[in-house]
Amino acid sequence: MTQPLLRVEHLTMRFGGLIAVNDVSFDAHEGQITAVIGPNGAGKTTVFNCIAGFYKPTVGRLTLTRNATPYLLERMPGNDIAGKARVARTFQNIRLFPKMTVLENLIVAQHNKLMRASGFTLLGLFGWPGYGKAEAEAVDLARYWLDRTNLTDVADEVAGSLPYGGQRRLEIARAMCTEPVLLCLDEPAAGLNPRESADLNTLLRFIRDEHKTGVLLIEHDMSVVMQISDHVIVLDYGRKIADGTPDVVRNDPKVIAAYLGEPEDSAAVQGVV
């Protein structure tokens, strides 16, 4: 059996006395959309931050397998997780470079590739032609994602001037410009209207089907999750309480209890968890 794209094993994260994530294990696969859901404070964003390297997990192993090479994410600094293991992410509160243009945002995302092409600046400084070619290719890639996210017309506008939905799309386009194998999205549908939400679903399916990129997303909006996910993981109080296809999860009594509050007779079910 092939290795999953991302394997999370026994992930635990403590802040002082608080256990935000408690012994969570799951897999995410290439060409699949994996959703992590759960009520507020369930530890979803913490799981994300551990995967993206913003926190160092207290216990646990995070293995990403790219080209049959395993990368142990918990041992890598954040920028290597993005640069070497190729995990890209977006943020719950959008983090663009607001004073730079939309296009520049996408070019910055291709930094490491362009750095090498510019001979770590030295060759680029003297106008080495190889750099010009690399830059043109970078612009082509940027344009590809601009077209997919409907931002081509505003490519030369400052990112901060885009409307909210545009900024969300730009953040995804920017993450995709790093050519990731795993794309982590932190509540991508938050604040979007139904139409934008539907467009987002189309975009995510496109990324999954055409690029075979694994997508890991945190989402509150159950309609988004149930429509596009291949695989759903439910967290509650830092523990995993369910793991399976949307249909299985939807009918899981523990999940219903976690979301709707527990009916009196389900205390027994909770006890099992």
Whichever of 115 and 248 has its CB closer to another protein, that residue is 115
Residues in the chain: 273
CA distances from 175 to 84, 142, 180, 250 (A): 14, 11, 7, 30
Rounded to a whole number of angstroms, the minimum distance from the CB of residue 185 to another protein is: 12
What is the rounded CA–CA span in Å between residue 150 and residue 162? Answer: 12
- Measured between alpha carbons, how far is residue 91 from residues 53, 119, 186, 265, 273 in Å? 13, 31, 5, 39, 31
Compute the radius of gyration of the chain from its Cα atoms. 20
Residue 210 sits at the vertex; the CA angle it makes with 205 and 214, to the nearest 5 degrees, is 65
- Min separation Cβ 77 and another protein, Å: 8
| CB-nearer residue toward another protein: 62 or 109 | 109
Distance of alpha carbon 59 from alpha carbon 50, whole angstroms: 11
In the bound complex, what is the minimum distance in angstroms from residue 115's beta carbon to another protein?
Answer: 5
* Residue 135 or 230 having the CB closest to another protein: 135
Residues lying near another protein in the complex (CB under 8 A)? 15, 49, 52-54, 77-80, 82-84, 88-89, 91-92, 95-101, 103-104, 107-112, 114-115, 118, 120-121, 124-125, 131, 135, 139, 142-143, 146, 152-153, 155-156, 161, 174-175, 178
Least distance to another protein, CB of residue 148, Å: 15
Between CA 81 and CA 220 the distance in angstroms is: 26
For residues 83 and 244, which CB has a smaller minimum distance to another protein in the complex? 83
Q: Given the complex with another protein, which of 31 and 78 has the nearer CB atom?
A: 78
In whole angstroms, the minimum distance from the beta carbon of 202 to another protein comes to: 22
